[in-house]
Structure 1
Amino acid sequence: MVAAIRAGEPRSARVQWHAPWGQQFPTVRGSAGFQVVLQGSCRLIPLDGGGAPIALNVGDVVFLPHGSGYALADSPSTPLTEPVCDPLNDPRFEDRYASASVGRTGQDGSQEVTVTLCGGYQLDPSRAHPLLADLPEIVHLPARLGHSRELRAAVDLLGGELDNPRLGVDTIVPALLDMLLLYILRAWFDEQSERGTTSGWAAALGDKAISAALHALHRDPAFPWTVETLGTRAGLSRAAFSRRFATLIGQPPLTYLTWWRMTTAARLLRESDASIGEVATRVGYTSEFAFAAAFKREYGTAPGKYRRQN
């Protein structure tokens, strides 16, 4: 699902901040961002809709799935005088794979240093997956001993590559950024499950029956799925499966299947040289004409024109 909704290359940087400091990160539609505190501490200050500052300490991870504006500062009282920073467009982060450490010198010469790992993912705003739509504006994952070991390991590996880029960094960093995003989502869903507050997609992914059906249609969108065959994968009757799927996912099974097929088709048109006929076959259409009609209903343009524009 993450691969299908991502667009372009993610970016990341290891940043050093010298107190006093304050940095604004603007609202960026069609993006998701993260911050990890590697050293020291700071405050995250929500800018969209307000909200109380969040204290961040070493090992804390913050994920902003909707591209909401925020600021980081050494203290809530520090003026946000730094220029606005956007990791996806700021020229200081232009080298998206190599080390992009940015220093800040405090006005009083202070050597109190905070080190953060920041980054951003470009998403397709027209295909926002409901999994991300269910997440809050700010996901805060505090560091807790023994929790989210995979997430901590990914952070350590990514920080090491940005601090000391070596042979193969062009391949390693994008892979680590994808891993980091997945581990953030895992950690969030695990926390919701521990608290007993799961709903929507979090509940769907924790439901063995529905997650089995989702895994099947995600893995093989070309299969001629029906509500009955998906129900069989889920181990439920047709009616019981349809009700449970619609309750947890928010739409009927075949409606979601069509959405997934069109999302997959768009990614193939953007990222591969497969012919339109091949794309149609890979997402479950035996007729190129039927595929083109379905694609145009979803995107408002023909597949060939979509490919040329994207």
Structure 2
Amino acid sequence: MDSLSELIRLLAPSGTVDLRCRVAGVWSDFNAQAAPGHVPYHVILEGQIEITVGDARLRATAGDVLLFPHGAAHTLMGLQAGSRTVAPSRHFNGVVTEVTVPGAAAPLDILCGTFVLGSSADVLLRTLPEVLCIGTDDANRHGDASWLRGLIGMMHAEADRPRPGGAAIVADLSTALFTVLLRALIQRGGVSRGLIALMADARMTRVVEAVVRAPEQPWTVDSLAALCNVSRATLARRFAQLGGMTPLELVTTLRMERAARLLRQDGLSAAAVGEQCGYASQAAFGRVFAQHFGIAPGAYRRQHRVRRVAEA
């Protein structure tokens, strides 16, 4: 399995499409700060839109996908002039909630949703900017435009004409969209820092791929540097510049996320989980796990079991 596929399996993303906004009049919509691990996104199907995030302001147009990696509060605004005279109408069509603002201006059509990531989201998100804009034209130079346009088109069709199974199809398509967007960012080098930046680097991606595939191995800085034929110092410097982390921090993070997943499955003892994650003793595993999650492995398992029962 390639490193991106393994990373997606680790992140366990799920996607939702919450709103379909059709706007031809004066309109703006404020989106509050999202919960940790929740990444709001907006797909611009038709027209143009202005977005404010803090003091930053940008515009997006048809075919663009906007991502908010840290769930930052933001405001969407149509570009129509005038004062608002008609309140938006809302209607659930069986798949998404449709928000309509009538008017005479050029139409604006948007799908709004959220990618929900697993507990390991921080390894991917922590050094990303507040907002990313991925355009299908940009992706075209790297071969992913057809995938992006195809997925967006299918999501558009399912949201536009509700049919049996439409809600499930839209949810699965939005989850696939997350993977395609990450691949586009990696291929075009669209992120300057973080795990995506490391995966976009021809040499550093060898280290990421090896650690993602087998975090339990007894990795050292020397063995990781040998994978990409660089010195220890060069490896450390490139990881700091691109990833904002050390190579062994990546190893520990991925080990801990594997451990958390195994503990949630309830099939192995804490000692066995630690062994599968590369720790020779239960004490060493428990100490690192508690430092990472703020809770001991046994307590983490019990906490998850209680939550699972409560949600059943």
What TM-score does the superposition give when structure 1 sets the normalisation length?
Answer: 0.76
Aligned ranges 1:98-109 → 2 under 5 Å: 99-106=95-102
Decide whether aligned partners of structure 1 residues 22 and 245 sit closer, same or farther in structure 2, where only a CA change above 3 A counts: closer
CA contact (8 A) 1:16 1:113 kept: no
Question: Residue 185 in 1 paired to residue 182 in 2?
Answer: yes
Distance 1:83 1:5 in 2: 39
More off after superposition, 18-27 vs 242-251: 242-251
More off after superposition, 23-32 vs 178-187: 178-187
For 2:149, give the aligned amino acid: R
How far residue 225 of structure 1 moved from its aligned partner, in angstroms, is: 1.8
Aligned ranges 1:93-132 → 2 under 5 Å: 99-106=95-102, 110=104, 113-123=107-117, 128-129=122-123, 131-132=124-125
Residue-by-residue CA offset, 1:201-250 (whole Å, 9 max, x unaligned): 45422322211111011111122222232223223344543443344333
Q: Which residue is 1:262 aligned to?
A: 256
Residue-by-residue CA offset, 1:166-207 (whole Å, 9 max, x unaligned): 6766765444323212322333344446xxx84554542232
CA contact (8 A) 1:17 1:115 kept: yes
1:32 to 33, 39, 55: 39
Residue-by-residue CA offset, 1:116-168 (whole Å, 9 max, x unaligned): 12111234688522x42332222123442844332222222333344456676
Question: Residue 144 in 1 paired to residue 137 in 2?
Answer: yes
1:12 to 12, 17, 24: 17
What TM-score does the superposition give when structure 2 sets the normalisation length?
Answer: 0.76
For 2:284, give the aligned amino acid: A
Decide whether aligned partners of structure 1 residues 296 and 133 sit closer, same or farther in structure 2, where only a CA change above 3 A counts: closer
Q: Which residue is 2:154 aligned to?
A: 157
For 1:215, give the aligned amino acid: E
Distance 1:119 1:240 in 2: 40
More off after superposition, 21-30 vs 242-251: 242-251
Question: Residue 45 in 1 paired to residue 39 in 2?
Answer: no
Distance 2:80 2:303 in 1: 44
Q: Which residue is 1:232 aligned to?
A: 226
For 2:132, give the aligned amino acid: V
Count of residues in Structure 1 that have an aligned counterpart in Structure 2: 290
Decide whether aligned partners of structure 1 residues 241 and 210 sit closer, same or farther in structure 2, where only a CA change above 3 A counts: same
For 1:103, give the aligned amino acid: V
How far residue 304 of structure 1 moved from its aligned partner, in angstroms, is: 2.1
Q: Which residue is 1:65 aligned to?
A: 69
Structure ranking higher in strand proportion: 2
Residue-by-residue CA offset, 1:24-62 (whole Å, 9 max, x unaligned): 2112141211111113x242331x42333x333221211
Distance 1:18 1:243 in 2: 48
For 1:64, give the aligned amino acid: F
Question: Residue 74 in 1 paired to residue 63 in 2?
Answer: no
Specify the SS of the correspondent of 1:67: coil
Distance 2:266 2:168 in 1: 21
Distance 2:68 2:82 in 1: 22
Decide whether aligned partners of structure 1 residues 159 and 268 sit closer, same or farther in structure 2, where only a CA change above 3 A counts: farther
C-alpha RMSD over aligned residues: 3.6
Residue-by-residue CA offset, 1:77-131 (whole Å, 9 max, x unaligned): 56689999xxxxxx988x9xx611413243xx659643212111234688522x4
Distance 2:256 2:86 in 1: 42
Unaligned 5+ runs, structure 1? 85-90
Aligned ranges 1:201-240 → 2 under 5 Å: 201-240=195-234
Specify the SS of the correspondent of 2:114: strand
